[in-house]
Chains A and B, each alone.
Chain A
């Protein structure tokens, strides 16, 4: 990781550096977005998949829970990888929204 975060010692100025101050605040914003936002997206998709997946109810529930962690990891990576904090937020909102909408649309089948 140092290899990519530091410019090689050839005298060229660093191409990209994370600035101090506001940069750190943004970093933590992204971190919280990944941690909490990612969890929220995973939670929405856990509920959606639980109702979407075929098979016995208990089985669909188990598989949905196991798959939620994959969603979580992807969402957290997105929170950092997006070009701007705004895009990161919008992306997570969209992903979580679709999951929540699916879960809500499928609510009828649950007794």
Chain B
């Protein structure tokens, strides 16, 4: 056979298979990425020791006082300022003669300051950053391998989306069609509605996601123009400020709050995200201020540097149209610019995407079951797909919620506490996969949905009792982020329990001979 049928037919085949092969990975990417839209809020929620942050002018003054006390003759100071979403000021310093630490290496020379400028002992946690990293770096695998793998899956996702649109004869009619309680039909309608409803989002998020990692796995344009090596390309794209050399003349830094104010004027409004002061005890010191990524859709650091008297030395060159386009793509993907209402829209679109992948996975098995020689006793391959669906679609939410519980329940002095939290995530996930393999599919779905529901509902209740009134006191204090996570968990828990109940009560359609199927399946109960 050399003909695969018409274009719709062939696209349908492409859609089905490219979708299944990477569906589980895509589910992980979607659910972790969706959660990561609340990364800062989650981190704040996961470090309940800290209250609301100070304003950036106050915070920078407090940080300066702290550093001047703690490390007056360090080689470098770094200050990360709080914003409306995150909770605390973090400062770190590099003592004279010490080498720069690599990313992710534990740094003993650091402190977290609360709104009064006092160092607070916060629990060690990866916070929302865990979901963010899991979204494109996975875990326990070398980062480069993970990114290649994620990129290949995203490319297939893009192909599945495009072929999904081509397959779809009646894309707009189908959007308004939801045939309840018709088994496979309902799953297909649900999958279609979820996909079409947020199709612009899906296309955008997949394409921009590919853009974020593009020079890694599509390096051919770079190689074509920079035969000497990729470093030359990055050096041209991101010119590095030359290092300041110490003069040997002692000095103290100017008031950093005033430097911040000047930086904000220079940007024409906007917020500073971080400061770095090289040689803070030397008259040749250099203060560089980086801009908040969320200030613009095409976020950029727009670094400015100031001298020991607080005068502007140097500003980053304006970006070219191509760079702004690239930054805009990344900005749309990460939504750092999004204020709360729009962030909710991003989040809900992400939820729709997660459900689209989930319904697609379920549809794959529902459809194939009807084509099996004996649907009551499917072959091994089918059973594995069916069980893995459970292990991913409900196992991952259980694991994510278990991670949050780990954050609350693990003893504060346990060694490598943030790694221990991550272990809770993976143990819980592994347990769910094993559970799904051992139980009958229906029981597997119901039990894991119910477990996820109970875990989600339990967290805000636990906070209410164990963390000074939880959402209630957070709301009273005006801490929308902490309260929002609690309320979100309540809603999520309720929906999960509702879904568990639906699946539990679901009466499957009686299997009829094919010719008579149309009328008979109307008798089926509602699908979950």
Contact = CB atoms under 8 A, between A and B. Distances in A.
Contact of A2 (B184, B210, B223, B226): B184
Interface string B216-234: 0010111111110000010
B1 A46 contact: no
Chain B residues touching A, majority SS: helix
A2 B371 CA distance: 12
Interface string A33-48: 0110001001110111
A53 to B, nearest CB: 9
A5 B8 CA distance: 8
B215 A65 contact: yes
Contacts of B233: 58, 61
- The contact size tier of chain A is 35 or more
A80 B5 CA distance: 10
Contact of A35 (B156, B218, B322): B156
B421 to A, nearest CB: 36
Q: Max chain B CB contacts within 10 Å: which of A17, A50, A63, A66? A: A66
Contacts of B188: 1-3
Given A5-B13, A69-B218, A72-B155, A61 B226 contact: yes
B324 to A, nearest CB: 10
B285 to A, nearest CB: 31
Contact of A68 (B152, B220, B223, B329): B220
B218 to A, nearest CB: 5
Interface in B158-189: 158-159, 162-164, 166-169, 184, 188
Contact of B13 (A64, A76, A80, A86): A80
A16 B225 contact: no
A86 B167 contact: no
A19 interface: yes
A30 B367 CA distance: 23
Contact of A1 (B2, B164, B226): B164
Chain A residues touching B, majority SS: helix
A60 interface: yes
Contacts of A48: 224
Interface stretch (B41-49, B63-71, B245-253, B511-519): B511-519
Given A50-B222, A50-B225, A81-B7, A1 B322 contact: no
Contacts of B12: 1, 4-5
A81 B5 CA distance: 9
A5 B210 CA distance: 30
B159 A73 contact: yes
Contacts of B159: 34, 73, 76-77
B208 to A, nearest CB: 10
A49 B221 contact: yes
Nearest to B2: A84
Interface string B183-202: 01000100000000000000
Interface string A80-92: 1101111000000
Given A61-B233, A65-B222, A73-B158, A80 B14 contact: yes
A23 to B, nearest CB: 5
B221 A81 contact: no
A66 B328 CA distance: 12
Interface string A1-43: 1111100010100001111001100110011001100010011
A1 B15 contact: yes
B320 A46 contact: no
Given A50-B225, A62-B323, A43 B207 contact: no
B237 interface: yes
A103 interface: yes
A22 to B, nearest CB: 6
Contacts of A1: 12, 15-16, 164, 167-168, 188
B17 A27 contact: yes
A48 B158 CA distance: 23
B402 to A, nearest CB: 35
Given A58-B323, A69-B210, 13 more contacts: A1-B16, A1-B188, A4-B8, A4-B9, A26-B2, A31-B17, A56-B322, A57-B226, A65-B218, A77-B11, A80-B163, A86-B2, A110-B224
11 contacts: A19-B1, A26-B2, A55-B322, A57-B225, A58-B322, A68-B218, A68-B220, A77-B14, A81-B10, A83-B2, A84-B3
